[in-house]
Structure 1
């Protein structure tokens, strides 16, 4: 065990000190000196207990647990797994009689002689008497303090208003003095110390309604805002802080002065008798802090509510309590009247704002059933022929329009109708293709115009109604289509929402079920299991390219599909798979949006995805939408679905019934902008009203976040000044990737060129590698969006050819570059073997494992 002797020596020394203290306490209790024998006979029975308490506490607190266990084992105890409290109890019981200290013998050995004993008694008695006298005096002082505080507490209710009246007068004089001498600084929001304050004249030349308004002004000084991580944070000071200190000081001064003047004479006499001096204001302020803590914030709150005009009247008047009290009551009554008027004005303003909001947005977002239209709903799972049937009806009509969720699908239907002998135009925003004698159009849903008339309208993927950013395009097409027949294609979860929008009386519903069953494989998928006809699904471009690279290095011929891929390239990649030139396709969830491919098996390489805010598990509808692409009628008898992990959980998502969609997205329309311009003419106000507009039940407003980001770039510039509100919003609403800084800068440069009647800057085209080609494709796409919006179709045709060339380059890069992606270690860049199945080399993997092991050991 640890050095018990050292612990024992400390316990002995502490015991001796306690015995000395015990002797002193014994002696001070007697007026005449008792004998040493009297002490022994009265106290010796407690000597050993004093030792035991000291010894046990010392040894229990200073011996390690492991040493206690060893001590108890030597005593024959079983201590493994024993509770800590029980072990300490057993240890104390066993250790109490170890190495005892003979206290009584030590006391007798050190017994004082008679003279020493009497001297010690006299000293102890004198100290005791002095302490008792001090306690009596302290008690008397405490009593006087309580009487003073009680007096003040009794006077608070009676004098509080009078104290405030005096404070109000002092405050008014300081306020008017500052307003007439101090400069006003330009308000900057937010204001940082790097921003130099600019003077705007004298404070009094500006109108302040209430004191609270004035206190928001800058003093020109800086003060410490807070301390954070041992750093002082500073900011420009407003008048709030010095005036808060002013109120604090004068509250103490006024109340303490009142107390000094009005305390009863007997309390003041008692105070002087006990303290030996007159009651000072400083002492009273110190004692009365509990009262001040209540009154200071109350008075500061009252003063902030005062109208500056009322305080101005006080500054030139001498202080007379009754007169100022009368003025205060008059001001209070007027203030209540003003507040009532202000509340009424605010109410009128709110009612007017509600009326304006209702007029601007009004019934724009409430479904309105349109007579004479035959609605046909095609409801069912993916890959059940819904779109095929709706398109056949459109092909047989005199005129029709197909509204697609993706540009690629619009291209696919454009090609199909023309190849089937039905002249069809194409319109996607980034391209327009006109065919002679065409009375049919294939376009993306955003290109729908409610004033166009057709015999048949086909709206695909109607479940996109719920998408916050794009959903309103579907809503507008469904509720405002000008046609004899409107065919709406969607999944089961959108059925009830569609019936709410179009009404049940004029609807024909076709239900579709899969003829080819889906079968979930029981075995977890590994990349080495990839076979011909597989579609491997992940949720990022990087993952698609990395997976395709690994497959290619293992001898597979691979097609790829991801969101940022040019549609022309995507089509070529699909055709390679359809024609059997590639055996496997790796894709993002874009594959689930109407792309018809001969897929034998859908493989989910990931079960979750990043949705722009967080990484989350796939929804049941997402799993069904993607998995439904497995199994092509006439090619496969069953569609297979595989997962890399959590097969039971994901299979459950595939089978469970989806909850019905409850809301649809809404966004600004041309009608909204027309009504808005009756009242206002700036987008700042429009965005503010849009945020304040309460979305009707069953709807969800588009955030307009991307539009706001672009607007921040051109707010207050000549671009905003020279464009009409509707045109400006149209340019903000262009569908391009605002997260690409290069594209945002291209958009900004183009906007300046448009308003200055200059040539649009040509997109920056780079073709060194796949990534550069893809961004160049987007840059040309943005250029085409602008050209078509400006009606410059002839020029656009040239850039469409340029974009096709870039798309060919992307396709070539996918063929040549992707194989190299996984050939280098991501950690050190070392070249990896062609069939190496991991993204990092063995050495980097081993080093990473070694670091993890070291971290675990250090914990």
Structure 2
């Protein structure tokens, strides 16, 4: 017997049992011998032919069928092809057609797009399974239709062309931009801060907590009309709110777009191009509610600033500043630790390498300050102060020294020019090389700044990178991150409660008519959103938790974050339980991580204080952990120097 054809000796059997006249076919297909009933139903104005296998229509496998004699085959066919079986299949199909017609009418779909296949079903599966597959097809079609409707509603609810208009205070007030652009050590930030200090009111927006803290203290030293300025500090993890404050030092993500001021300073404006944080600078430029907005940063940001100013219809002044002291490459590499000298900054690109070089330098008898990204701002500051005060001869650090730490460095020495970018090891980009190198030769302290590689390869790569012409920032595609308001607007039109799907709709479906502004979220936030959707939390709670500034790559910190999330899902208040002695039994890495954990708790406490109320305790514990880290770094430095003296 061939496919879809009965065995040759069964053809006569089919005729003898009158199967063709009754609309019944004996078929071999997919390794089965079965009966297929042909017919049609009329319902809901539709005429639907069908050729389906009844629930008891499968007779046997071909191998077994061959072993049956004619009488046994005839008996089995007769048993399974009764008029009752025909009626049951007809009624079952009629009910299914009516069901599909009603479903399709509800969703505005054409039922015959799905029902036409009932007449040409090439399968041995019974009718019920065929109906289930068609229902599934309809379900997918409905879901596609809903997604298209949701996409359209999302586009209608949020258009990034109108993004600047969402900052109502900035939109209503006349604003002017002043760009102060130049390399490190050109005095651009100093000039902007002078203007801010003289203004009746203002805000400084920093890329780092450390910079916000430094300029907060700088503003506290200013007097106006014989009185000190009233200054507040606002970062994600800390609030120092002064009564009647006229000035605020803040991290850029903490922009207050509702309180009008006279002057705003947005520092490191080239961060507009940053892959993960650029959206915060876009928001600051569009939303800083100041009559005069200073945009401070690298010269390669000029075209991007000009494009934004034109789009926002804000007048723009551009001032390009030159470096106050010369910067030069050393004639050759340093090559030996013994050739390092006081005033050097040795740069490595990992915590492990920084500590390794710190020990090597200390064992040569030098006192060392240590700076890397995992350290809290307080520790970085304390270590930098040791170098400024002369208590440390040499600073060993990562590129963390390139932003926010003013130190009297005479020479930058690169131990490497290769850095892990989050995905792979690669040569550092020229802008970063320039920013690091620019820290050499502090104006007023050194006549010139010097740059060298520790080895020949690093030396030549730095020489090449410093000669590269800066590449201008793009003039379109400015990143916009979703706000809670954005997500609520999407949820209102789609009835969606999954944070991951809301974020995807923001990325893929909001209206970006000309690409000037472009939606961005981080991979880390998307990964967190997917996990958070497994918990019974509101969209607002999930959104806040997805942004907690704690590394998911550190197991202890990831576990702490998950504990907080689960606690909130159970509406449980999470208190801190300090252990005064615990810090003294931890490694340096563990104390650093504890410090970050307490800072993250404080960040969360400011956003969800009912469930994370121990904000002040978290800040105190973070301070204690920072002091312990600083003490451990100094002890390690001292021990390494003792080893040097014992060898002498």
**TM-score normalised by length of structure 2:** 0.72
* Correspondence list, 1:399-548, <5 A: 399-420=201-222, 421-503=228-310, 506-526=315-335, 527-548=337-358
Aligned match for 2:391, one of 563, 568, 581:
581
* Contact kept in structure 2, 1:770 and 1:817, CA below 8 Å: no
- Report the CA distance shift for 1:684/1:798 in structure 2 as closer, same or farther (over 3 A): closer
- Report the CA distance shift for 1:491/1:346 in structure 2 as closer, same or farther (over 3 A): same
| 1:760 maps onto 2:574 in alignment | yes
Q: CA deviation at 1:378?
A: 0.9
Larger Rg: 1
Aligned match for 2:467, one of 645, 651, 655:
655
| 1:816 maps onto 2:635 in alignment | yes
Q: What residue is the counterpart of 2:98 in the other structure? A: none
Q: CA deviation at 1:574?
A: 0.9
* Contact kept in structure 1, 2:578 and 2:621, CA below 8 Å: no
Aligned match for 1:554, one of 341, 364, 367:
364
* Contact kept in structure 2, 1:173 and 1:314, CA below 8 Å: no
Distance 2:293 2:265 in 1: 6
Q: Give the match's secondary structure for 1:523.
A: coil
- Report the CA distance shift for 1:614/1:310 in structure 2 as closer, same or farther (over 3 A): same
- Report the CA distance shift for 1:618/1:312 in structure 2 as closer, same or farther (over 3 A): closer
* Contact kept in structure 2, 1:359 and 1:675, CA below 8 Å: no
| 1:749 maps onto 2:559 in alignment | no
- Report the CA distance shift for 1:688/1:822 in structure 2 as closer, same or farther (over 3 A): farther
Higher helix share: 1
Q: Give the match's secondary structure for 2:395.
A: strand
Cα RMSD of the aligned pairs, angstroms, is 3.7
* Contact kept in structure 1, 2:176 and 2:314, CA below 8 Å: no
Q: CA deviation at 1:751?
A: 2.7
Distance 1:732 1:753 in 2: 15
Distance 1:545 1:656 in 2: 31
Q: What residue is the counterpart of 2:56 in the other structure? A: none
- Report the CA distance shift for 1:347/1:790 in structure 2 as closer, same or farther (over 3 A): closer
| 1:784 maps onto 2:602 in alignment | yes
- Per-residue CA deviation, residues 309-331 of structure 1 (Å, 9 max, x unaligned), is 22469999xxxxxxxxxxxxxxx
Q: What residue is the counterpart of 2:16 in the other structure? A: none
Q: Give the match's secondary structure for 1:800.
A: helix
| 1:677 maps onto 2:487 in alignment | no
Q: CA deviation at 1:812?
A: 0.5
Q: Which has the higher contact order (CA 8 A, sep 6+)?
A: 2
- Per-residue CA deviation, residues 471-505 of structure 1 (Å, 9 max, x unaligned), is 10111011112121111111111111111112176
Distance 1:469 1:178 in 2: 61
- Per-residue CA deviation, residues 412-463 of structure 1 (Å, 9 max, x unaligned), is 0111111223221111111111223322111111111322322211111111
Q: CA deviation at 1:698?
A: 5.1
Q: Give the match's secondary structure for 1:817.
A: helix
Aligned match for 2:522, one of 700, 704, 709:
704
Distance 1:439 1:698 in 2: 34
Q: What residue is the counterpart of 1:728 in the other structure? A: 542
| 1:610 maps onto 2:417 in alignment | no
- Report the CA distance shift for 1:312/1:441 in structure 2 as closer, same or farther (over 3 A): same
Distance 1:673 1:464 in 2: 25
- Single out whichever of 657-666 and 423-432 deviates more from structure 2: 657-666
Q: What residue is the counterpart of 2:446 in the other structure? A: 636
Distance 2:232 2:33 in 1: 74
Distance 1:308 1:529 in 2: 83
**TM-score normalised by length of structure 1:** 0.55
- Report the CA distance shift for 1:569/1:355 in structure 2 as closer, same or farther (over 3 A): same
Distance 1:536 1:776 in 2: 27
* Correspondence list, 1:84-233, <5 A: 170-171=28-29
Distance 1:581 1:699 in 2: 48
- Report the CA distance shift for 1:311/1:479 in structure 2 as closer, same or farther (over 3 A): same
How many residues align structurally? 517
* Contact kept in structure 1, 2:535 and 2:569, CA below 8 Å: no
Q: Give the match's secondary structure for 1:510.
A: strand
- Per-residue CA deviation, residues 591-624 of structure 1 (Å, 9 max, x unaligned), is 1113211111111111111100111111110111
Distance 2:339 2:124 in 1: 91
- Report the CA distance shift for 1:173/1:787 in structure 2 as closer, same or farther (over 3 A): same
* Contact kept in structure 2, 1:376 and 1:508, CA below 8 Å: yes
Higher strand share: 2
Distance 1:552 1:461 in 2: 33
Distance 2:244 2:123 in 1: 87
- Report the CA distance shift for 1:619/1:309 in structure 2 as closer, same or farther (over 3 A): same
Q: Give the match's secondary structure for 2:295.
A: strand
Distance 1:581 1:521 in 2: 26
